[in-house]
Structure 1
Amino acid sequence: MPTPLARRVYDACHLTGQFRLRSGQVSDEYFDKYLFEGRPELLREVAEAMVALLPECDVLAGMEMGGIPLATVMSQLTGLPTVFVRKHAKDYGTAKVAEGGPVDGRRVVLVEDVVTTGGALLASCGPLRSMGAEVETVVCAIDREQGGRENLAAEGLRLRSALTRRDLEADLAA
């Protein structure tokens, strides 16, 4: 039996067709996170579920682009500062990979929307750690359960997800 939140997220963002994922994999289903992130009441509910998963930390790091609205709402709910992590540093302006406050010596939790293989998170974790951030935990809205948890664990990152693919599809099996 799906939770009420899982049902609402599934109804809002589950698409079928043929989709190429960031990982390069092709899938016949897609969880379009922008369809729930664009709905204020649902975005807040997902962010509240993610806040419940936070370890002790000093900074939330919203991953470009889908992690940014989640991290922003989580920051509002917790009072924790937020940085916004780019896929690549800009070659102009501040040329930073993480925009916002400092991360050096701080316990930083990465905030992501959907995790498939964890590739984007792994690519961003190195630069954050080289800036002095203590990064051990990722909190995401949806874990697609396609190897991300294991790939992140291999790099010393613990994944905590508000929802999993299994949660979202629970009623389909019934």
Structure 2
Amino acid sequence: MNRLELAHAIGQTAKISGSFTLRSGAVSDSYFDKYRFESDPKLLALIAEALAPLVPSQTDYLAGLELGGVPVATMLSNVTGIPAVFVRKQAKTHGTCQLAEGADIKGQRLTIVEDVITSGGAVNDAVFALRERGATVEQVICIIDRESGGKENLEALGLTVQSLYRRSELE
């Protein structure tokens, strides 16, 4: 499937119309329901194959953010052979009390994997928490950049942000 066909498939599967309040608090008349493409194994596999070239070669672990980045990181791990860790919004308060599940991240180079970036708030929070735990985080990849300032906000923190698609490419 070529890039345009994949964009069309994502849009057909995930774009819905209505009135939606986003994580950032902004209200939008369209929404990319990421769970619609993340729950489709064939479409998610095609997305992971398209994302694979964006993964920096020095990546030790793909860091999938809770919740939407987890299935993407899992499928991308399958495609690239790079192991994944799953990053919670908050560290558990029981058991191992981990923020990142799946490996010891101290001293490791993580590439953040996210499904949709709007303001960049979730990625920002995760980056600071992962760095506090000794990980090196400089790279972010996502499926959709909503073109709402998130990429710029994250780049201002010294992160390199790459997206498979911008919102305008899916409309």
Provide TM-score, normalisation by structure 1: 0.94
Describe how 1:148-159 pairs up with structure 2 within 5 A: 148-159=150-161
Q: Distance in 2 between matches of 1:51 and 1:111?
A: 11
Which residue of structure 2 aligns with residue 77 of structure 1?
79
What SS is found at the alignment partner of 1:52? helix
Say how many residue pairs are matched.
168
Q: Distance in 2 between matches of 1:66 and 1:47?
A: 13
Which residue of structure 1 aligns with residue 31 of structure 2?
30
Q: Distance in 1 between matches of 2:108 and 2:94?
A: 26
For 1:94, give the aligned amino acid: T
Q: Does 1:146 align with 2:164?
A: no
Question: Higher relative CO (CA 8 A, sep ≥ 6), structure 1 or 2?
Answer: 1
Describe how 1:92-171 pairs up with structure 2 within 5 A: 92-169=94-171
For 1:16, give the aligned amino acid: S
Structure 1 residue 154: deviation in Å? 1.1
Q: Distance in 2 between matches of 1:168 and 1:102?
A: 37
Which residue of structure 2 aligns with residue 43 of structure 1?
44
Structure 1 residue 88: deviation in Å? 0.9
Which residue of structure 1 aligns with residue 17 of structure 2?
16
What SS is found at the alignment partner of 2:54? coil
What SS is found at the alignment partner of 1:95? coil
* Unmatched tracts of structure 2, length 5 or more: none
Q: Distance in 1 between matches of 2:97 and 2:170?
A: 38
Which residue of structure 2 aligns with residue 6 of structure 1?
7
Structure 1 residue 62: deviation in Å? 0.3
- Runs of 4+ aligned residues of structure 1 deviating over 2 Å after TM superposition are none
Provide TM-score, normalisation by structure 2: 0.95
Identical-residue share of aligned pairs (%):
51
Structure 1 residue 158: deviation in Å? 1.1
Give the root-mean-square deviation of aligned CA atoms: 1.0
For 1:163, give the aligned amino acid: Y
Q: Distance in 1 between matches of 2:93 and 2:162?
A: 33
